[in-house]
Amino acid sequence: MIATIYKALCDGIYSINNTLNLIANNSILTKVWITFCAFLTGFFVPIQFCILFVFCMILLDMYYGIKASIKLKRKIESSISWNGTIRKMRDTFLLLCSIRGVEYFLINALVTTKVLTCGAALLISFTELWSVLENLNTIDPSGPWKLVSKFLRKKGEEYTGIDISENDDLKK
């Protein structure tokens, strides 16, 4: 029984080695490259849609942030806006990869789903959605998102330390 399992395992490894030799033309560097790419594929393919969705939310936030800046007649510097978005995408990508690494290397035997990575992507997406709502509230305060405008105003006052009231617009 053990000899049969050992023989099947050796035959499998021999078959993989022969296939790699055919593809790589017996080049060690090409074998290493193929193995590395296979690892990257196995690492990223399960979370590709999480990463793509979060990146789309970041771009949506940038779009509505630019629209809100235009509405407030603030100067928009494309290099600053784009660099901030690229930095946010980089940080998000590194965070999702780190969490995926914890799942892949440390708790893969315990949890076979992508709970941590998808949960982190969900939290990041909610944060971006909140920012989009803030921008939409700035663009059109009478829109359907006006239900959250009081809460947005309260959070804005807490973050900036400036008293924001509806009467300020009437005094001007």
pLDDT attached to residue 12: 83
159/170 Cα distance (integer angstroms):
23
Residue 168 has pLDDT above 70, yes or no: no
* Six token digits for residue 79: 């290099």
Mean pLDDT of 54-81: 85
- CA distances to 12, 105, 126, 135 from 72, in Å: 65, 48, 24, 11
Q: Please provide the average confidence, as pLDDT, over all residues in the chain.
A: 81
Identify the residue whose tokens are 């920012």: 131
Q: Please report the pLDDT score of residue 22 as a whole number.
A: 82
Over residues 143-165, mean pLDDT = 65
- DSSP-derived 3-state class of residue 70: helix
Spatial separation of the C-alpha atoms in residues 54 and 86, rounded to whole Å: 13
In degrees rounded to 5, what are phi and psi of residue 111? -125, 120
Percent above pLDDT 70 for the chain: 84
pLDDT (0 to 100) of residue 167: 44
| 149-163 as b/e: b if 16+ CB within 10 A | beebbeebeeeeeee
Looking at residue 71, its pLDDT comes to 85
pLDDT band for 94, please (50, 70, 90 cuts): very high
